[in-house]
Amino acid sequence: MRRSRRSTCRRCRGGGGRDAAPAGGGRRAAAQADGCDRRHEPRDAGTCPRLWLRRRSRADAGRREAAPAHPPCRRADPGRIQPNARLVFEAGHSHRGAARSAQPFKRCEVTMDFVTVEGRTLRDALKPLLEVARTRKTIPVMGHVRLDFDGASLRLTANDLDVEAVTVVDAIDGAGEWSICLPARELGGIARVAGPMPVRIEPGGGEAGHVATIRLGDGEAVYTLGQLPASDFPGRVATPGKVIERFGNGLLAECLAKVAAYVSAEETRYYLNGVCWHGGPKGLRFVATDGHRLACCRYDAEPCERPARIIPRQTVALILRHMAGADVTVRDDAGGRLSLVFESAGLTLRSKLIDGAFPDFDRVIPQPGPFTLALKRADMLAAIDRLGVFGRSAFSWKVKLWGEAGRLALSRRDDGGAVTVRTASDWPPATAGADLPPIGVNGRYLADMLRDCAGEASLALTGPSDPFLIRDTDERMTRVLMPMRV
């Protein structure tokens, strides 16, 4: 703990009726109790003609603007001294009945809790937290960020009961050990406008209890924000357990990015609302499906028995945005059975997992059939774009794929009209005497999958009513698409 503010107040000199007069707390109230009739902006003691700041030497005077203003002392009950201000009285000083003595000034040392961090550092640290902190009117503290200062670094925590995100910021300066909650949106806005300026955060205490003060730079802007006690903050801080896996060089985000688009958003089958992390005889895999399409990314082919864990889509999105390219360590959460802790440099996520059984996806992945439809990717995407002209309804995105003079042709019919598009891809020739009949797919799903593919893609299929296997040059990926009836 460091002592930060030291000032000598003249008004304590000719003290009134009590001994322990100077008190740092209740600044505005103090000024008004003193009979000053102007409304004071917090900490702007200079605007009140009756308040007097300590005398300075000439060398000191140049730093007048830079020196933080000392909260005005007042003749108050010692019991009302704010709890986070620490006063040090000089020995031999009598506050009461002071005739002008050789030592006219009483020196009181006030140590206040505060922390100063750089604006851009704070802004970057708050980014993942702002995505977690939600504004729920029923539980106001959910829209808050918890700040814990331990004397050296500031830890920021957001929690929405499903995910807890923690970032740590190195402090430029600070004093005390304290914890408060501040509104996330406002704090994020302040960090945004601060730019490279230092941001000084002072928790409120004592009478000014629920109001924190945030000061940008050299007092360019001074904010007061309502604060909540840290004890109101939900959840518990993660207690990381044993390491499950270490992903280097952004491998985790890379694998999740390949399957994240296939996670279901349908609430009825809640167990599909996440990415399944699965270990078995076929290796370690991430799998996601919404019932119409499925993507499976095998990042390790070694057999490895591990329980299937379903990581919710919100956590997947956070990892994709804030842990891309980073080394990530995944641990058990020692405090909770159904949760995981993801650690990267600067960000720790503790996420609940989805409590459900992911379907046995190996059973729906088909064996490659007799027909293979090699698709020229850019040409196919342009062709599907041409089909997308009638876009009123998402449900009518049924596209018929059929052969016309040995080429693949696409057609689509809607209330608004119909369209037929020629492509440059070949229609597979008859195999074992059997022609491939026209097949139907959801054009939007097919386009999404083709966009995800690396290099040229091919459609392996058995018949028009069986699931298709979509392959690209990436051997780790398996993609399955269900057909539509034509």
Name the minimum Å distance from CB 392 to a second copy: 8
Contact 444, 452 (CB under 8 A): no
Contact 240, 331 (CB under 8 A): yes
Name the minimum Å distance from CB 379 to a second copy: 10
Alpha carbons 105 and 103: distance in angstroms, whole number: 6
Name the minimum Å distance from CB 434 to a second copy: 19
Name the minimum Å distance from CB 387 to a second copy: 8
CB closer to a second copy, 222 vs 460: 222
Nearest of 413, 348, 298 to residue 132 by alpha carbon: 348
CA angle 284, 289, 291 (to 5 degrees): 145
CA angle 443, 384, 464 (to 5 degrees): 45
CB closer to a second copy, 28 vs 471: 28
Q: What is the DSSP string of 45-84?
A: GGG-TT--PPP--HHHHTTTTTSPPPPPP----GGGS-TT
Helices (H), 365-433: 377-387
φ/ψ of residue 124, rounded to 5: -65, -35
CB closer to a second copy, 354 vs 375: 375
CB closer to a second copy, 360 vs 415: 415
Name the minimum Å distance from CB 66 to a second copy: 13
Name the minimum Å distance from CB 211 to a second copy: 8
> Which residues are near a second copy by CB under 8 A?
41-42, 44, 46-47, 183, 186, 189-190, 193, 211, 216, 219-226, 382-383, 385-386, 388-391, 404-405, 411, 416-422
Nearest of 238, 253, 234 to residue 331 by alpha carbon: 238
CB closer to a second copy, 21 vs 216: 216
Q: What is the DSSP string of 338-368?
A: TEEEEEETTEEEEEEPP-S----GGGTSPPP
Name the minimum Å distance from CB 391 to a second copy: 7
Nearest of 52, 44, 49, 67 to residue 10 by alpha carbon: 52
Measured from the Cβ of residue 12, the count of other Cβ atoms closer than 10 Å reads 23
CB closer to a second copy, 189 vs 206: 189
Alpha carbons 354 and 307: distance in angstroms, whole number: 13
CB closer to a second copy, 60 vs 404: 404
What the block records as the tokens of 54 is 């300590």
Name the minimum Å distance from CB 85 to a second copy: 21
Bridge partners, 170 (sequence order): 153
CB closer to a second copy, 394 vs 405: 405
Name the minimum Å distance from CB 143 to a second copy: 10
CB closer to a second copy, 139 vs 222: 222
